[in-house]
Amino acid sequence: MEGDSPVRRWEDLDIDILVKILQSFDLFELTSGLAHICSAWRLACCDQLLWKTLDLSVLKSNFIKIPLEPYVYVDCQSDKTLTSLLKICLNLSSGNILTLIFHYNLYVSDDQLTYTAERSPRLKRLVMPAWNRIKKTGICRAIRMWEDLESLTMPTIANPPYVVEEIARSCKNFAELKIMGPCDMLFASTLVSFLPNLKVLSVRCTVLSKSALVTILDGLKKLEVLNISHCLITEAPPPAPKKILAKLDESILEKASRLRKFLTCMSDSCIMCQRTRNDEGLMRWYKYEEDLWKVDEVRSLAI
């Protein structure tokens, strides 16, 4: 006792106040051992308000590119760091994670993805731009566990039907897709075939053939928002010579007029359009501002 005022201990602090304080901590501070201080602090560290979003975009793999699949080799210590962080976060979150964000240079393995999916059954949004080390069976197994998934940010893949079909089969509320990379005719046709109820689609800063765009506009009848900002719109798909359109013709604009939002930018003075052209539609995000890859003109897809 000091005078008439009792000395209050940290563990006596109201849980709601403690949670409010912990909300200002970053991921590494939150997982640094605070939960081991006492039972009250552990209870606060496990509060679902802290774990609605698990943002791992601050973490990158230490890797080198290799000529054979999976085209990257990830340093063992880098893998151990990610595995350790996932175990702590997923243990504290108690299955309450709704949004999961990975950096485009964070190369998750099949085992890490499966471990994560098993412990985040309520996931609604996944941002995972790098799939190099994930096999077909791994991503499909994870998607089956994420029945509540509504939104996905993914890379371009060579064989999209298997994953899109799995989404259609397992995720009945799926509504938003962002593709970080070219969307060709196969990808567009796959979306039309398996995700006819898709409401939001973003394929910004990449190569998009006019035929794929027409397929999307004609086939996705429930689509409300389409973002093709800073895209290189080509007249004909490969292997035809690449002829880039300077502007969208009236037939495209007419088809897009039914959408609630049709987001485009094809300006020579736009920095992002210039960068897409310089990178030939395959954005080298590492060359630019650190968080530029997180930007999207569609608010619900931005990070």
Please list the residues that pair with 102 across neighbouring strands: 56
pLDDT at residue 181, rounded to an integer = 94
Confidence of residue 242 (pLDDT cuts 50, 70, 90): confident
Q: How far is 231 from 155, CA to CA, in rounded Å?
A: 15
The yes-or-no verdict on residue 238 having pLDDT over 80 is no
pLDDT at residue 294, rounded to an integer = 98
Confidence of residue 40 (pLDDT cuts 50, 70, 90): confident
Express each pLDDT in 258-289 by its tens digit.
999 999 999 999 999 999 999 999 999 999 99
pLDDT at residue 284, rounded to an integer = 96
Q: How far is 65 from 282, CA to CA, in rounded Å?
A: 17
Maximum C-alpha span of the chain: 86
pLDDT at residue 7, rounded to an integer = 59
* Residue-averaged pLDDT of the chain: 93
Q: How far is 299 from 303, CA to CA, in rounded Å?
A: 8
34 closest CA partner among 60, 82, 47: 47
